[in-house]
Amino acid sequence: MLVDTNVLSELARRTPHPAVATWAAAVSLPVAVSAVTLEEIHFGLAWKPNAEVRAWFDVFLGTSCTVFPVTDMIAKRAGDLRGQLRADGRQRTQADMLVAATAQAHQLTLATRNVRDFEGCGITVVNPFDGA
């Protein structure tokens, strides 16, 4: 399971969304994140420091998570995906396509609230917020 930034941010809250907490309790550890997610979390914590969230995230990274780097193959696949989608009139962000390419490269399902951002990327996506 590859976990997107919005799911991790929710889990770091004092009281996470009940559906996300239930989903997390059922997921086998360790999970994975992209280096892109690592950057986004650190950006957010540098912009709006929160010692409690940083401590939670540091423990999570050290005990429950694998971080996948952006390799040449992942970067190439992300560029191809973004270009193909753009040619079809669908704009996507570089960060999201790097995450999608990471899920593809490692044959992982992506857990994200932003399901629509990953439509047409050839990956399986679950939304822990929907409670399904």
How many angstroms separate the CA atoms of 9 and 115, rounded?
Answer: 16
Question: 129 to each of 23, 38, 75, how far by Cα in Å?
Answer: 8, 21, 29
* pLDDT at position 131: 77
Which of these CATH numbers, 3.40.50.1010, 3.30.70.1140, 3.50.50.60, 3.20.20.80, describes 2-130?
Answer: 3.40.50.1010
On whether the CB atoms of residues 109 and 1 are closer than 8 A, the answer is yes
Contacts of 32 (CB under 8 A, 6+ apart): 1, 2, 3, 65, 66, 67, 68, 106, 108
Whether the model clears a pTM of 0.85, i.e. scores above it, the answer is yes
132 residues of the chain, pLDDT tens digit each: 999 999 999 999 999 999 999 999 999 989 999 999 999 999 999 999 999 999 999 999 999 999 999 999 999 999 999 999 999 999 999 999 999 999 999 999 999 999 999 999 999 999 999 976
CA 70 – CA 35 distance, rounded (Å): 6
Q: What does the domain layout of the chain look like in residue ranges?
A: 2-130
Q: What's the pLDDT score for residue 77?
A: 98
For residue 4, give the nearest of 23, 18, 120 by alpha carbon: 23
